[in-house]
Amino acid sequence: MAEAIATAEPRARTRIQSVFVHGFIVAILLVYAAPIIGVLLTSLQTNAEIAARGVWHIPEAATLVNFEDVLANTPTPRYLLNSFLVTIPATAISILGGLLLGYVFSQFRFPFAELLFLLVIAGMFFPPQAMLIPLFRLFNDIGLYDTLYPMIIVHVALGMSITTLLMRNFMSALPSSLREAAIVDGASEWSVLFRVIVPLSLPAIAVLATLQFTWIWNDFLWPLIFTRSEEAKTIMAGIDALKGQYNVAWASQAAMSVIASIPTVVVFIVFQRYFISGLTLGAVKE
């Protein structure tokens, strides 16, 4: 019906309308994305140009010199490496935990199962401040302060909430006959989980991988608390640490912000579908 009405309208009018809508969206986008445009513009200018003309103009000669400078003359490469060394294992292990707990909570009923499940997923909502001082003390006492391990461990533990929630819900939707048939064939619970359930759960795993990667990569509080030296800082803590030293070098800071954001933006662009369904946690699904 709507199509019939649309085609009945004069073409020119629809065209003008669509130009108007596009123009409107682009105008709003320019305002909304101004912060991002600003940081990109800054990263492509020399400090001299910024000093002379400010940030908000098209660079006369776009230059990558700031990126080279940051990568060559600051510990940024080390920070990036640390971020990967924290993010990848923490993402993987937290998903493994979610697979195990999701399987147990989705396939079996046992006393207090519901309560235990709620306790695990409630962790999503805990303010990290409530765990902060004891964790700081603990890792200090066992000699792991200023290493990468505390960040990995804490992200695994805190990640358990979201991974368990998503995996339990995903696995609950799988037919229970899958497990039963495999068990009748003599399979153990471990092989049911890893040979039957996990291969079917790849979409949920992809959702969790993109979400966890983004959150852990972007985290700032835990590296701020648990690290002090350049050898242990992640890129987000590194940006803050270098801020003091580079107080005037706006261009270097911008380049560093851009570099730090590349991994998550790439993950987002490549896995956008998974990322969004993760954020909406199945809100689309009826």
Partner 1 sequence: MTRGSRLSLLLMASGPLAIYAVFVIYPLLQSTLYSTWKWNGMSEPEFIGLDNFVRALEDPLFHGAFWNTAIWLVVAIVVPTLLGLGFAVLLDRPLRGSRVYKSMFYLPITLSLVVVGQVWIWIYQPDWGLLNTVLELIGLGEFTTFWLGNPDTALASVIVAWCWQQTALALILYLAALTTVPKDLLEAAAIDGAGSWQQFRKIIVPLLRPATVVIIALAVINTLKGFDIVYILTKGGPFHTSDNLAMFMYSETFFKMHVGYGAAIAVALFLLAAIVIVLYFRQSRAAERLYG
Name the one range near partner 1 by CB under 8 A: 63-71, 72-80, 141-149, 248-256.
248-256
- 20 forms part of the interface with partner 1 (CB under 8 A): no
Asked if residue 39 binds partner 1 (CB under 8 A), the reply is yes
From 46, 55, 85, 146, residue interacting with partner 1 (rule: CB under 8 A): 55
Q: Site for partner 1 (CB under 8 A): which residue of 71, 81, 88, 132? A: 132
138 binds partner 1 (CB under 8 A): yes
Number of Cβ within a 10 Å radius of residue 81: 14
Work out how close the CB of 63 gets to partner 1 at its nearest, in angstroms, rounded to a whole number: 18
Q: To the nearest whole angstrom, how small is the minimum distance from the Cβ of residue 42 to partner 1?
A: 6
Q: Which of 187, 214, 245 lies closest to 70 in space, CA to CA?
A: 245
Q: Does 141 bind partner 1 (CB under 8 A)?
A: no
Show the CA angle centred on residue 108, arms to residues 104 and 284, nearest 5°.
75
Q: Footprint of partner 1 on residues 68-97 (CB under 8 A)? A: 97
Residue placing its CB nearer to partner 1 in the complex, 229 or 280: 280
Sign of CA dihedral 262, 35, 62, 74: negative
Residue in 16, 20, 22, 203 binding partner 1, rule: CB under 8 A: 22
Q: What is the DSSP letter of 10?
A: -
Q: Within 188-247, which residues bind partner 1 (CB under 8 A)?
A: 188-190, 193, 214, 217-221, 224, 236, 239-240
* Residue 54 or 77 having the CB closest to partner 1: 54
Using CA atoms, how far residue 108 sits from 85, 179, 189, 224, in Å, is 35, 11, 12, 40
Residues that bind partner 1 (rule: CB under 8 A) add up to a total of 95
Among 46, 78, 123, 178, binds partner 1 (CB under 8 A): 123
- Would you state the structure tokens that stand for residue 107, as one six-digit string? 């396939």
- How far apart are CB 155 and partner 1 at their closest, in Å? 10
In the complex, minimum distance from the CB of residue 275 to partner 1, in angstroms, rounded to a whole number: 8
Amino acid letter, residue 30: L
Among 16, 19, 27, 28, binds partner 1 (CB under 8 A): 28
Q: Any contact of residue 135 with partner 1 (CB under 8 A)? A: yes
User: Within 13 A of 77's CA, how many CA atoms are on the CB side?
Assistant: 6
167 near partner 1, judged by CB under 8 A: no
Scanning the chain, the segments in alpha helix (DSSP H) are 2-8, 11-32, 34-43, 47-53, 65-73, 76-107, 113-122, 129-141, 149-172, 177-184, 189-191, 198-200, 202-218, 221-226, 235-245, 250-270, 272-280
